[in-house]
Amino acid sequence: MRGVRLPLALSVGDPSGIGPEIALAAWKRRKDLGLPAFYLLADPTLVAARDQIVGANVPIAETTPGEARAIFADALPVVPLKAKFLDTVGRPDSVNAEGVVEAIDRAVADSFAGRAAGVVTCPIAKKPLYDAGFNFPGHTEYLAHLAAGHTGQTVTPVMLLAGPDLRTVPVTIHIPLALVPRVLTTDLIVETARVTARDLRDRFGIDTPRLAIAGLNPHAGEGGSMGKEDEEIVAPAVKALRSEGIDAHGPLPADTLFHRRARAGYDVALCMYHDQALIPAKTLAFDEAVNVTLGLPFIRTSPDHGTAFDIAGRGIARPDSLIAALKLAAELAGNTGAQV
C-alpha cells in the first residue's frame, strides 16, 4: 500500500447483525495488522452499546470524514448518521432500513467527493430492506444505481469473489436457479468478461488477465447431450472475447475447474450462476474471501459473509473477512493512483 492519506468509508450494514462488532474487532487489530485508516458510518449510540455487550473496550469518537484519519490511531472514528437505529441484537427490523441505506449512500458520496479512498460495506439483510420498500436485489445493484446517479452514466456492476487462492465471478447473480438459462445470454457473458478483464488489469495490476469460462451444464454440456446452452450461448461468447484480444478459454466443465492444478491456469473463473461461483470461493477461503464490485467508478469491497444474526452480540464473530476487505480496498486504491 502506498502513502496513506484518505481513510476508507465503512458502512455499518444491518446493525442487528455482526457489522458493528466486526468493525470494533478490526479496529482493535489495526496496529498488529497495519490496517488502513477507516471510519464507520453508523449510529454511535448503538456502536457504543454493542461495544459494551461484547466487551471489546474500544474507545469511540464521533467525527467527520475529514478528521477520521487523525483520530484513527487512538479511537474508532464513527461518523454519525441522521437516522437512528433500533438496537435489536440478532433480530433484524425494517425500521433500521433507512439508516442502513443512508450509510451506503453517504459512503459512496464521500468517495465521489474525495473524502474517502473507497467504500467498504458490512453485510446487509435483504428482507428487512425489502419490507421497507427497497427495490434492488442487493448491494451490487444498488451501488450501480448510485454510481449512475453521481455520473449520469449507466455502469455494469460485476461481483468478484477474491480469496488468496481463487477469484470467481458469477455472471448471473441474485436470481432463482430456474431463471438462469433464460437470463444467460452471449452478450451478458461478453460484457461481464470485458468488465472483469479491464478491472483486473487496471485495478489489480494483472497485465493480461486469463479468464476461465465455466460451462452452465454438467460436463459443459457434453457436446450438447446435457443441454445446448454451452454450445449456443457460452462458446460464442468465448469466441467473441478471444477475437477482442481477451485471454478467455471455455466453456470448461465446472466440476474440474477449481482444483489446485486447474486454478494455476487462470486469474479468474467466470461462472454462470451464483452458487457455481460462491461455493468454491467460500469453501477455499470462508474467513478471508472478499466481495469486490467491479465496473464501478469507485472502489468497493465487502466481507464475503452474511449478517450472522445467530451469533450477533456474543463476541465470537471473526473480523478476518472484513480485515481482508479493508486491506484489499486500500491496495486497489493504490493501484488506481489514490492515496489511502
Binned average pLDDT, 10 residues per bin, the chain of 340 residues: 74 96 97 95 96 96 96 97 94 95 97 96 94 90 94 93 96 92 97 98 96 96 88 97 98 96 97 96 89 96 93 94 96 69
pLDDT at 337: 52
Assigned CATH class of 1-155+296-340: alpha beta
Nearest-angstrom CA–CA distance, 132 and 301: 25
- Asked if 1-155+296-340 and 156-295 have one fold, the answer is yes
Going from the C-alpha of 321 to that of each of 26, 103, 310, the distances in angstroms are 10, 20, 18
pLDDT at 200: 97
pLDDT at 125: 93
The residue ranges of every structural domain in the chain are 1-155+296-340, 156-295
pLDDT at 339: 45
Nearest-angstrom CA–CA distance, 31 and 37: 10
Going from the C-alpha of 257 to that of each of 91, 249, 276, the distances in angstroms are 39, 12, 11
Q: Which amino acid is at 55?
A: G
pLDDT at 4: 47
Q: Model pTM?
A: 0.91
How many other CB atoms are found less than 10 A from the CB of residue 93? Answer: 17
Max CA distance (Å), the chain: 63
Angle at 54 between CA 77 and CA 93, to 5 degrees: 80
- Contact in structure between 41 and 9 (CB atoms under 8 Å): yes
Please report how the helices 19-28 and 320-335 are oriented relative to each other, as an axis angle in degrees rounded to 10: 70
What backbone phi and psi angles, to 5 degrees, belong to 249? -135, 140
Going from the C-alpha of 146 to that of each of 81, 140, 153, 156, 227, the distances in angstroms are 18, 10, 10, 12, 38
Choose which CATH entry (3.50.50.100, 3.40.50.80, 3.30.470.30, 3.40.718.10) describes domain 156-295.
Answer: 3.40.718.10
pLDDT at 334: 84
Nearest-angstrom CA–CA distance, 228 and 250: 15
Nearest-angstrom CA–CA distance, 256 and 172: 20
Going from the C-alpha of 17 to that of each of 117, 118, 219, the distances in angstroms are 25, 23, 39
Look at strands 210-214 and 60-62 and give their pairing.
unpaired
Q: Which amino acid is at 135?
A: N
